[in-house]
Amino acid sequence: MDIMTGAGLVAGTIVIATLMLLGGSFGIFVSDHAVIIIFGGSISATMIRFPLGAILHGLPLGAKFAFTMSRLSARDLVDELARIAEIARKQGPVGLEKVETDEPFLAKGIRYVADGYDLEFIRDNLERDRDNFLMHLDEGSKIYRAIGDCAPAFGMIGTLIGMVQMFANMTDPSKLGPYMAVALLATFYGAAVANLVCLPIADKLHLKLVDEEINRTLIIDGVLMIRDSKSPTLVREMLLAYLPEKHRLEEEAETVPA
Amino acid sequence: MDIMTGAGLVAGTIVIATLMLLGGSFGIFVSDHAVIIIFGGSISATMIRFPLGAILHGLPLGAKFAFTMSRLSARDLVDELARIAEIARKQGPVGLEKVETDEPFLAKGIRYVADGYDLEFIRDNLERDRDNFLMHLDEGSKIYRAIGDCAPAFGMIGTLIGMVQMFANMTDPSKLGPYMAVALLATFYGAAVANLVCLPIADKLHLKLVDEEINRTLIIDGVLMIRDSKSPTLVREMLLAYLPEKHRLEEEAETVPA
Amino acid sequence: MDIMTGAGLVAGTIVIATLMLLGGSFGIFVSDHAVIIIFGGSISATMIRFPLGAILHGLPLGAKFAFTMSRLSARDLVDELARIAEIARKQGPVGLEKVETDEPFLAKGIRYVADGYDLEFIRDNLERDRDNFLMHLDEGSKIYRAIGDCAPAFGMIGTLIGMVQMFANMTDPSKLGPYMAVALLATFYGAAVANLVCLPIADKLHLKLVDEEINRTLIIDGVLMIRDSKSPTLVREMLLAYLPEKHRLEEEAETVPA
Amino acid sequence: MDIMTGAGLVAGTIVIATLMLLGGSFGIFVSDHAVIIIFGGSISATMIRFPLGAILHGLPLGAKFAFTMSRLSARDLVDELARIAEIARKQGPVGLEKVETDEPFLAKGIRYVADGYDLEFIRDNLERDRDNFLMHLDEGSKIYRAIGDCAPAFGMIGTLIGMVQMFANMTDPSKLGPYMAVALLATFYGAAVANLVCLPIADKLHLKLVDEEINRTLIIDGVLMIRDSKSPTLVREMLLAYLPEKHRLEEEAETVPA
Amino acid sequence: MDIMTGAGLVAGTIVIATLMLLGGSFGIFVSDHAVIIIFGGSISATMIRFPLGAILHGLPLGAKFAFTMSRLSARDLVDELARIAEIARKQGPVGLEKVETDEPFLAKGIRYVADGYDLEFIRDNLERDRDNFLMHLDEGSKIYRAIGDCAPAFGMIGTLIGMVQMFANMTDPSKLGPYMAVALLATFYGAAVANLVCLPIADKLHLKLVDEEINRTLIIDGVLMIRDSKSPTLVREMLLAYLPEKHRLEEEAETVPA
């Protein structure tokens, strides 16, 4: 669980709800107009903009990954892979069948090794899985960014529609207020959806894409070494050498020198 | 048929129509002012901006390709080309005359082979066709983007004209409303044309440009191999090796690991 | 004549004039305030921004080239050069003196050859002319873009001045309308000048720069080959080989495959 | 102490306070609405956008470094390192134990040398420290920029909420003023936080990142030379040769020729 | 003297003054509020953004160079250097002591030669001067751009403060006008300072940076050749060969072919 995404969304909702309550009731902020134009408009533009496959895979994958976290950091993965290499060396492929791991992608690789597939098959399959996954995560990030970019525009369109109706039907100037309030809600919804949800999620998915690429490449390398019956020490050392500086530093991260 | 483009346009129209109906009637949103300035202004600026040839070819080609889809994915194309290579090997050039295919560009290549043109002539002609086509598709994408960029500006110009007329002729403040409504319609039209039609189509054409380049290059390579009487197995293997990762993965796309 | 630029400007003017007339009279759109601030402000900022030489050469050259077109396409130029090579071979330098051509830059090169200047002198002079010309055309494109970027800002400045005067002198709220109309005119003028004139012209000049570079380089190469008494066939073949793909395709452009 | 950051913040506060007092009292500018939406919204979006580790380390490190300055310029550092090299040569590692220096990172390096650690260990540790530190400083700069980018958007969201409440509850138009004042405060807070605090600090941190990278690399190189018992003259010469032009010029900076 | 910068500023001032006078008096445009927020805010943000050294050197150097011009074009410099080389050859270093030149940087180089310093010393000193100077000119350009970017934001902040005060104290709606006028002045000042002064000057400084780099490098090369007692003809030829195309073309610039 990536608690920060959920916490941020909850905090943002509380902030906006507080402001609404401070000034009266929630009721005046409920607007079917605004919901229809922001979500309807963004969905329509996204349908035109992206192929169906990208939307069907990228959107839910993005939503899922914004809230989940790699259960294991790159450094933990190295330890996990060394542990499994130890088991593989002591008990052979049979021992691997009983190995349990939280990381589904790693579990898949271990299963391939336990089932005795050859090196080429395992590499091809895992690399295809990884590239496929990264492609959809990238599509997800781009779709959230596209929605974050067009939601405020649809908010403005909604407000314009509301204002045209208000001005066109205006007979009694004293009734202008409530109409105006409704019209402004579309702009408000669009700005909130973009700045509180879509754009931050698109940024987060972009960061996760980088991490997942490192982790999954690490897993593929490790699994292939286990398939080759490399010693646990060698597995650990070679994988650590592959790690980019940033991840090798993870342990020191608590003690920032200044 | 690329159903998504049409579906997105229809959905967007429904969304906006719903909002209009919720607030009254369509009538108040009909504005010859707005239509004249958005379309007249965008067309004028596009006439100055692009050469006549680019407009005449790029605009309709873009409109056509936003709604159509490559009938065959890159992977299907490989299968199709392997199938045709099979026929060519069994029945010779004569057999090719009876081959039917949905892809006009492939059909053209096959016809060249069936007619017995030499390799150089076929390569030159097909490459010229492909480059010519990609150039016009790129021009189309750029024209839609240019219109999407200037339509909101012409919307603002239309609204400014309307407001100047309103303020200049204002004798009775109570009549300000309807005038204001008409003035705002130009901004509304400009924002809707840009965000719901032109910018998403420009984005989609850009994505299609990449796909078409891959597909047509694949077809040229395949047709030339068939002209060379290569074996179907070799055709399939070599074309698959040319495919970028993304397209080789197409079959796995349904099973996204997480 | 590049008819499109003129046609676009005329069309844009008609569109805006139509909108003005639909809402009343032209009179209310005449504003010395707006003219002074948009043109005065843009000219002042441009004077600070660019050296005098760039303004004096780039601005009129840009204006001229936005409306004129290379009389000859790259392909026509190759034919023209081959025709002249034919004459040069049959009648010698004397024949070149009678050659007439619409392209002044080509005419200059032919005159050099007819006058018997040596290869180095001709190359140096023509290349210097070409680079000098391209530099000024590039400056012209940049100046139009700079004006297109700052005109809306000066429009806003003009409107702010008008609104400050309106609010400061406001004694009778009923007179607010006409003042407001005048103030908005500056924003209108700025947006129209930028979006209908300056930015499209800057884009068009940028495209022409690319074409002119190709054409003039072609002419230099051709003239030097004629000076070297190369055969017309060789001139045609070598120049066609130099042409970028796009220009070689010009003839096929009518038949866009899809 | 980087006096400029503090001075700029104090000056900015005085400027805004002066403007507030010129027009009345501070009281009307106190708005819990605005504080909640600007800080609550920015914090929420930042929580979603960045991983927890980046926020916990980058934000305070950025705040600290915006106000502190490298006690020593690159040139002073070279002198300091030469001085320490002198001590190390005369008194050996024992003498280093008594060396005092203002730069904590240098002090750490000297302690390693005094404690007799081997070259590899010292290099690894110091480089890890440096990279770790630069990574967090970069995260800090990015977080401040992200807040500076989204604060105005949340200001607009706050103003929209206020205006919706104002219009919805509007019964007496004469009360519109104070409500409007409160609504505008959110936009004001957002613009002030972004333009006076976050964006300038993000820019400054980016400049400091470059300086710190040079200084810490210089210290690592110098400490390693001291560990190798290089002569003070050699240390000074080699380090000066490493310095980028800009820092070598520091002494001349007072006499700008024109 | 770079007359264009001064002329542009004067023209801009006249344009704005004309507009003010056409609508009444100057008095209503005098606003201590606006002056305080635009200049105070921009100075505060600049203090945080840039190190003190950059501000102290870059800002006045930028102001000076926006109004001055290289007394000599690159081509004139070559002539001047050839003239001095002639003197040096005929009269030896003694003759150089009497040489007078308008360009201070050249004068400095000549003095070094006349004083008999060796080649290395002269090269080091002049290159350090040149790099130091270019660094400060670049800082100057960046500071003017940063001010041009934040001035409109502080204008908006000033207007927001004014509007909050207006709405908060609003008891008599008829007094709203003058308050509004004062509030808008801050936005006006910010837009004028940015678009008429800071951004054009930043652009001009950027262009001058390129010219100065060419000229000063030319002077260094020329002075070193004079120190080496090269013949005037060789000096002229070698320096002309160094000149980028653009500057070699300067003489032809009057005759733009079309």
Per-chain mean pLDDT for chain E? 85
Closest residue of B to A142, CA-based?
B203
Among the partner residues B191, B204, B257, nearest to A157 by beta-carbon distance: B191
Residue B56: partners with Cβ closer than 8 Å, 6 or more residues away? none
pLDDT number for residue B255: 41
Model confidence at B252, pLDDT cuts 50, 70, 90, reads very low
Single-letter code of the amino acid located at D137: L
Among the partner residues E46, E104, E160, nearest to D187 by beta-carbon distance: E160
pLDDT number for residue D68: 82
pLDDT number for residue D198: 94
- A136 C-beta neighbours (distance < 10 Å), count: 25
State mean pLDDT over E68-95. Answer: 84
Q: Which residues of A touch B246 (CB under 8 A)?
A: 131, 135
What percent of chain C is predicted at pLDDT more than 90? 35
Q: What angle do CA C145, C151, C154 make, to 5 degrees?
A: 150
pLDDT number for residue A254: 40
* D36 and A CB contact within 8 Å: yes
CA D246 to chain centroid: 21
pLDDT number for residue B253: 41
CB contact under 8 A, B49 and C11: no
State mean pLDDT over E73-81. Answer: 86
Q: For residue range B38-63, what is the model confidence (pLDDT) as tens digits?
A: 999 999 999 999 988 889 988 899 98
Residue C165: partners with Cβ closer than 8 Å, 6 or more residues away? C179, C183, E20, E23, E24, E28, E181
CB contact under 8 A, C12 and B164: no
Q: How far apart (Å, rounded) are the C-alpha atoms in residues D196 and D183?
A: 21
State mean pLDDT over B79-104. Answer: 86
pLDDT number for residue B171: 67
pTM: 0.85
- For A172-241, the DSSP string reads -GGGHHHHHHHHHHHHHHHHHIIIIIIHHHHHHHHHHHHHHHHHHHHHHHHHHHHHTT--HHHHHHHHHH
- D77 C-beta neighbours (distance < 10 Å), count: 24
Asked, for residue E22, whether it belongs to a domain, the answer is no
Choose the mutation target among E161, E174, E180, E208 for the interface with D, i.e. most D CBs under 10 Å. E161
State mean pLDDT over C63-91. Answer: 85
Q: Which chains touch C (3 or more CB pairs under 8 A)?
A: B, E
Closest residue of D to A12, CA-based?
D44
Choose the mutation target among D71, D131, D161 for the interface with A, i.e. most A CBs under 10 Å. D161
* D30 and A CB contact within 8 Å: no
Q: Which two tokens stand for residue E235?
A: 């000096």
CB contact under 8 A, E167 and D180: yes
State mean pLDDT over A10-14. Answer: 93
Q: How far apart (Å, rounded) are the C-alpha atoms in residues D216 and E40?
A: 36
Q: Which chains touch A (3 or more CB pairs under 8 A)?
A: B, D
CB contact under 8 A, D40 and A22: no
Are B198 and A150 spatial neighbours (Cβ–Cβ below 8 Å)?
Answer: no
Q: Which helix (H) or strand (E) holds B52?
A: helix B52-67
Chain E nearest-CA distance from C168, in A, is 5
pLDDT number for residue A1: 65
Q: Which two tokens stand for residue C124?
A: 């140096």
Within the 108-147 window of chain A, which residues sit less than 8 Å (CB to CB) from chain D? none
pLDDT number for residue B42: 94
pLDDT number for residue D24: 73
* A231 and B CB contact within 8 Å: no
pLDDT number for residue C194: 95
Asked, for residue C221, whether it belongs to a domain, the answer is yes
Are B218 and B78 spatial neighbours (Cβ–Cβ below 8 Å)?
Answer: yes
State mean pLDDT over A5-21. Answer: 91
Asked, for residue E37, whether it belongs to a domain, the answer is yes
Q: What angle do CA A84, A108, A234 make, to 5 degrees?
A: 30
pLDDT number for residue C255: 41
Q: How far apart (Å, rounded) are the C-alpha atoms in residues A58 and B253?
A: 11
Asked, for residue D142, whether it belongs to a domain, the answer is yes
Segments of chain D with pLDDT less than 50 = 249-258
Chain C nearest-CA distance from E98, in A, is 34
Among the partner residues D41, D156, D167, nearest to A196 by beta-carbon distance: D41
More confident residue, D177 or E117: E117
E258 has a pLDDT exceeding 60: no
CB contact under 8 A, E11 and C169: no
Q: Which residues of C touch B190 (CB under 8 A)?
A: none
Asked, for residue C13, whether it belongs to a domain, the answer is no
Residue A146: partners with Cβ closer than 8 Å, 6 or more residues away? A45, A46, A49, A50, B203
pLDDT number for residue E254: 40
Model confidence at A257, pLDDT cuts 50, 70, 90, reads very low
- D208 C-beta neighbours (distance < 10 Å), count: 22
Residue C167: partners with Cβ closer than 8 Å, 6 or more residues away? E176, E177, E178, E180, E181, E184
State mean pLDDT over B221-249. Answer: 80
Choose the mutation target among D67, D144, D184, D246 for the interface with E, i.e. most E CBs under 10 Å. D184
Give the number of domains in chain A: 1
Are E66 and E5 spatial neighbours (Cβ–Cβ below 8 Å)?
Answer: yes
Asked, for residue D235, whether it belongs to a domain, the answer is yes
State mean pLDDT over A110-121. Answer: 89
* A175 and D CB contact within 8 Å: no
Closest residue of E to D190, CA-based?
E157
Asked, for residue D180, whether it belongs to a domain, the answer is yes
Asked, for residue C169, whether it belongs to a domain, the answer is yes
Model confidence at A194, pLDDT cuts 50, 70, 90, reads very high
Q: For residue range A41-82, what is the model confidence (pLDDT) as tens digits?
A: 999 999 999 988 889 988 899 988 888 876 677 888 888 899
Q: Which residues of C touch E258 (CB under 8 A)?
A: 61, 64-65, 104, 133
* D19 and E CB contact within 8 Å: yes
Q: How far apart (Å, rounded) are the C-alpha atoms in residues D72 and E152?
A: 37
Per-chain mean pLDDT for chain C? 85
pLDDT number for residue D20: 87
CA E221 to chain centroid: 24
Chain C nearest-CA distance from E123, in A, is 31
Choose the mutation target among C195, C197, C199 for the interface with B, i.e. most B CBs under 10 Å. C195
Chain C nearest-CA distance from E131, in A, is 24
Nearest one of E170, E162, A186, A175 to D164, comparing CA atoms: A186
A202 has a pLDDT exceeding 60: yes
Q: What share of residues in chain D are helix, strand, coil (percent, to 5)?
A: 85, 0, 15
ipTM over 0.95: no
Choose the mutation target among A15, A69, A141, A248 for the interface with D, i.e. most D CBs under 10 Å. A15
Residue B216 domain boundaries: 31-73+121-255
Could you say which DSSP state residue E2 is in?
-
Count how many pairs of residues, chain B against chain C, have C-beta atoms within 8 Å.
152
pLDDT number for residue E247: 55
